[in-house]
Amino acid sequence: MRMNRYPQYYLSLLSYGALITITYSFSTISIKNILHHHHHRHHHPTTTTATILKLNNNENNNNNNEGSLDKGFNILGKANALIPQGTIVTTAKAGWKFIWNKMMVELAPQDKSGSYTRPTYAFKNKIGDNNFPDEAGRYHLYVGNPCPWCHRTLLSIKLRNITPDEISITHLLSNAEKATRGGWIFNPSTQRNKDPLYNSYDLYTLYNRIQPTYDGRCTAPLLVDKISKKIVSNESSDIIRMLNTCTFGKNQRMDLYPAILHNEINDACNWIYDNINNGVYQCGFSTTQSAYNAACEKVSYGLTKCNTILSKQNYLCSDTQFTEADLYLLPTILRYDGVYSPFF
């Protein structure tokens, strides 16, 4: 069989599997053997490895606390007699890189260049459509505070002065270990964190109850019609835009999308999303150096453009009015120094 017909990562996995097998086959050798070997080699140059193993098997247990040490697989200690350390390290690095790449692609889909490509969704409904009437108290929003996309919808609700009686809200908890799929779960111990529709355990359970055929990512924010129990949208930009057009309620609303600034706002939202909102994630989720460099350049370009505009006026599209464009920028900028810059 010609081994060069197989992708490199298969060879890495095979090598790593063989390495672990070898490790377990030498399970009687411990760190003490290695230290013992070096000690005797220094004082008794003629002592063989076989003799040392025999001595180790017959030695008394003077150091009883040795058994409490967590030695992991002890690969370097046990297999180094048969496999050079360089091979072990190289194989482990190749295997880890393969696993890491596949995990990153699962979490963040990549194009051929290794650049993160954000998925799109099929939920393109709108409050005000025939199936989703513009009615107060009919809709429920699921959000998670750590998420910038959720943050922008919450800011929109506050700025638009939309009350809980008009749109109710559940605050999800971020816990990837407990979630069935994705990272969002509910905490039924508090009303603020409950699912009012199905009392779901996590967001995946809710998606599955509402639309069992859905096979995409179970993301937030999620806007749901409580009457029909159907998803309106799970895209933050669409939710923000529709919240700006809702007519229910009598409280004074801030217009985040004034007609006179439509063109400027649309243009600004596009470059802010591409270079900054999504750009930071393209940095963090890139799996090649070239993709990472390109993403960093985009973020730098976006931040420089913001700085240039805001050095001349108070807001991105107007000197006097906070708009949807500023709402796009704010959640990312608030997280930039604390999260994106150091981690991504």
Choose the catalytic residue: 16, 139, 273, 281: 281
147 is catalytic: yes
- 171: β partners: 143
Helix/strand/coil (H, E, C) string of the chain? CCHHHCCHHHHHHHHHHHHHHHHHHCCCCCHHHHHHHHHHHHHCCCCCHHHHHHHHHHCCCCCHHHHHCCCCCCHHHHHCCCCCHHHHHHHHHHHHHHHHHHHHHHHCCECCCCCECCCCCCCCCCCCECCECCCCCCEEEEEECCCHHHHHHHHHHHHCCCCCCCEEEEEEEECCCCCCCCCEECCCCCHHHCCCCCCCCEHHHHHHHHCCCCCCCCCCCEEEECCCCEEEECCHHHHHHHHHHCCCCCCCCCCCCCHHHHHHHHHHHHHHHHHHHCHHHHHHHCCCHHHHHHHHHHHHHHHHHHHHHHCCCCCCCCCCCCCHHHHHHHHHHHHHHHHHHHHC
Choose the catalytic residue: 116, 142, 147, 292: 147
Contact between 185 and 169 under an 8 Å Cβ cutoff? The reply is: no
Give the chain's end-to-end CA distance (angstroms, integer): 42
Task: For the chain, state the CA radius of gyration.
Answer: 28
6 is catalytic: no
Q: Which residues belong to the active site?
A: 147, 281
